[in-house]
Structures are given as structure tokens and as C-alpha cells.
């Protein structure tokens, strides 16, 4: 039962100051700028400082989103942080953000859905707003992935970057509205396809150190195929579910994992590639942060404008996926 509309009232983003180019990587691992650009579209990425935690990036992105929404932190009812690189296993990164921004009236928790985490978080926020329970929910995607990268592994080290993006989801508006979403998961494929094995209950400390389990490992080919299939599928599902067609879509903001995955999805969907926002060249794959960072940049560049019908779509480890249809 929908009592209210929900809409995106604020967007924020934050990138750490240290940057690493493909040329820098050439000195660290057996790779070339040409290979990385042609296979992924990535040119550079940002790296969090040693003492900089995921909550630090999340805090800065949140303050920028809250300011954009024109509200004060006290008006936030709930904080959701999507991340697979939390500050700690316990307590949550979201409670740290709550403290940092002084959101004294907010509940706070993390969710783990890898690169789909931001879409999952947005769908939760949407529920609390449309059922009338809450007025403002802060949804953050934040990652410090480079702390978990094996810099000697060229299969993964060239792909990831750090950053945070945040949105405020609020009640009612003059026309802007979250229309709906599609979420999915499939835990059947091998976990080894995309895994950060250390830190959980399966691998205690001594095993982590012995087996290099505190690094991301990935079967790039399988994840590539999964991405190329699931991105068009979840977009088609959400667009049809709400009675629209692909022609109605002004802008697609996909998870930024690989430019070639986005290009292949555009062909399958028969949506011109110009309607896909791509900024992977600047940031690499920032997992849960990639979609809100892209939303922030797209708006700054006047590519995302008020009244646009947009689709956000993500996929990632788990396997998980999700899409969100929005009138911005």
C-alpha cells in the first residue's frame, strides 16, 4: 500500500585525494595502459590513504548529499551503507557515519550485496518512504577496495578503485518519483567467481594470512558473461514492469565494472550507447559506490536533468543484481 511518493532529493560524492594512473600500474605489475584501456575503459582510479576508512569517505559523500537535499542531519531517519569493505566486521560502518555527521535521529545499518548494494539500499529506503514511516533516508555506497587488492595480481589489481557516493531519498515532491525496482540473486555459481574470502566466519585469522585470503580473487570471464546477460535482463524487467518501453528511457546509469560490458548491454537492449552514462575511465570499479558517484557526475555535467526517466542498474558478487526506475 503506497501512502506517499519517494524521490531523490540530494546526491553527493567523494573521492580520496591520491590518484593512480595506468602508467603508475605499469611499474607495479606486468600490464600496459593500452591493455587496460582497451579491455576495460579504465584510465585511472583513486586510492584511500592508509588511515582513511570507508566511513571517512562515506561521511564526506553523505554531507554533500544532505547539503544538496537542503536538510539538516537531524532530519535523517535512517542511514544505509552498502559496502563490502566495511571499517570492521562489527560495529557497522553506518553507525560510524551516523556519529560523524551527527544524524542523532537516525537508525543505521550496513548491507552486503557487493556492486548491487546501492540498488538494494535504495529499494529499502523506497519502502520506508512510500509506506509513510519515514521522511528522509540516506543511502550510501562506499568502498576502500584497494586495501584488499593483491597488487601483484594483474587480473584484479587494474580493475578497482576507492570512493563513495550518497543520495537522500525523501517523501513527496513536485513530480520526481522513484517508480520501482527489480532485485535478484543467485547463490548457486561458485563463490570463487568473485570472492573476498578473509574476515568471515569461514576463514579465521591464521587462514587468512596463510592463504592470501584477504585479497579479492575473481574469474573475470565468468563475471564478464554474467554482467553482459544480467544488465540487459534486469533493465528490461524493470522497464516493462512499470509499463514503459526502452524508448521512454532518457538515461541509463549502470554499475561501472567494464566499458565493454556496458557497450554489449546497450547493443542487446537496442538503446544507443550515448544514453548510457560512463565514467569508469576516471574511477575504475568502485563497486557499491559506482552508481551514486556516476549520478553525481552526470548531474554536474547536465546529463542528468530534472524530469528525466532514468534506470540505475548494478550487478556483482553473490551473484546479485538490481535495477531502479526513477523519474528524476
Give the residue numbers marked as catalytic.
Answer: 115, 255, 285
Q: Which stretch binds ligand ACO (CB under 6 A): 94-102, 104-112, 132-140, 215-223?
A: 215-223
Count interface residues toward ligand ACO (CB under 6 A).
22
Q: Which stretch binds ligand ACO (CB under 6 A): 7-15, 120-128, 161-169, 217-225?
A: 217-225
The three cell numbers locating residue 243? 509499463
Does residue number 22 form part of the binding site for ligand ACO (CB under 6 A)?
A: no
According to CB under 6 A, which one of 67, 220, 237, 308 is a site residue for ligand ACO? 220
CA–chain centroid gap for 58, Å, is 12
Could you tell me the smallest distance in angstroms from the CB atom of residue 194 to ligand ACO?
A: 5
The three cell numbers locating residue 187? 547463490
How are strands ordered across the β-sheet holding 78-82? 6-14, 163-171, 136-143, 78-82, 107-111
According to CB under 6 A, which one of 227, 232, 254, 322 is a site residue for ligand ACO? 227
Query: Which among 289, 261, 319, 9 has a CA at the least distance from the CA of 121?
Result: 289
The three cell numbers locating residue 194? 568473485
Residue among 61 and 223 whose Cβ is closer to ligand ACO: 223
Could you tell me the smallest distance in angstroms from the CB atom of residue 253 to ligand ACO?
A: 15
Q: Residues 105-144 vs ligand ACO: string with x where CB under 6 A?
A: ---------xx-----------------------------
Give the CA diameter of the chain: 57
Residues 100 and 203: their CA atoms lie apart, in Å, by: 31
Q: Residues 25-44 vs ligand ACO: string with x where CB under 6 A?
A: ------x---x---xx----
Q: Which stretch binds ligand ACO (CB under 6 A): 176-184, 205-213, 223-231, 245-253?
A: 223-231
Residue among 39 and 241 whose Cβ is closer to ligand ACO: 39
DSSP 306: T
Q: Grid coordinates 569517505 are at which residue?
A: 57
Residues 94 and 111: their CA atoms lie apart, in Å, by: 9
Q: Residues 180-199 vs ligand ACO: string with x where CB under 6 A?
A: --------------x-----
Residues 71 and 77: their CA atoms lie apart, in Å, by: 12
The four Cα atoms 314, 322, 7, 294 give a dihedral, to 10 degrees, of: 0
Quick check: helix, strand or coil at residue 148?
helix
- Pair 256, 288: CB distance under 8 Å: no
Q: Residues 288-327 vs ligand ACO: string with x where CB under 6 A?
A: ----------------------------xx----------
Binding site for ligand ACO (CB under 6 A): 31, 35, 39-40, 114-115, 154-155, 158, 194, 218, 220-221, 223-224, 227, 257-258, 285, 287, 316-317
Amino acid at each position: 500500500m503506497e501512502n506517499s511518493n519517494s524521490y531523490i532529493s540530494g546526491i553527493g560524492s567523494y573521492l580520496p585525494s591520491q590518484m593512480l594512473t595506468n602508467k603508475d600500474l605499469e611499474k607495479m605489475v606486468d600490464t600496459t595502459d593500452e591493455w587496460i584501456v582497451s579491455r576495460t575503459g579504465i584510465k585511472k582510479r583513486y586510492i584511500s590513504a592508509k588511515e582513511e576508512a570507508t566511513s571517512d569517505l562515506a561521511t564526506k559523500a553523505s554531507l554533500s548529499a544532505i547539503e544538496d537535499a537542503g536538510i539538516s542531519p537531524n532530519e535523517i531517519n535512517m542511514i544505509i551503507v552498502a559496502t563490502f569493505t566495511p571499517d570492521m566486521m562489527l560495529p557497522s560502518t553506518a553507525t560510524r557515519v551516523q556519529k560523524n555527521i551527527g544524524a542523532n535521529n537516525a537508525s543505521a545499518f550496513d548491507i552486503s550485496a557487493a556492486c548491487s548494494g546501492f540498488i538494494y539500499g535504495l529499494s529499502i529506503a523506497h519502502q520506508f518512504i512510500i509506506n509513510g514511516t519515514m521522511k528522509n533516508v540516506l543511502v550510501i555506497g562506499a568502498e576502500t577496495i584497494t586495501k584488499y587488492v593483491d597488487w601483484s595480481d594483474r587480473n584484479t589489481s587494474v580493475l578497482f578503485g576507492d570512493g563513495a557516493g550518497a543520495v537522500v531519498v525523501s517523501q513527496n515532491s513536485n513530480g520526481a518519483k522513484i517508480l520501482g525496482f527489480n532485485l535478484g540473486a543467485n547463490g548457486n555459481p561458485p563463490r570463487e567467481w568473485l570472492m573476498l574470502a578473509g574476515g568471515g566466519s569461514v576463514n579465521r585469522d591464521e587462514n587468512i594470512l596463510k592463504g592470501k585470503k584477504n585479497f579479492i580473487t575473481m574469474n573475470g570471464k565468468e563475471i564478464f558473461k554474467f554482467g553482459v546477460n544480467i544488465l540487459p535482463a534486469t533493465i528490461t524487467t524493470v522497464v516493462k514492469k512499470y509499463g514503459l518501453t526502452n524508448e521512454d528511457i532518457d538515461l541509463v546509469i549502470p554499475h561501472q565494472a567494464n566499458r565493454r560490458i556496458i557497450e554489449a548491454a546497450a547493443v542487446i537492449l537496442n538503446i544507443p550507447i550515448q544514453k548510457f552514462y560512463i565514467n569508469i575511465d576516471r574511477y575504475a570499479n568502485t563497486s557499491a559506490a559506482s552508481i551514486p558517484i556516476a549520478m553525481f557526475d552526470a548531474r554536474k555535467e547536465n546529463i542528468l536533468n530534472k524530469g528525466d526517466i532514468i534506470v540505475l542498474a548494478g550487478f556483482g558478487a553473490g551473484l546479485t543484481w538490481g535495477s531502479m526506475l526513477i523519474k528524476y
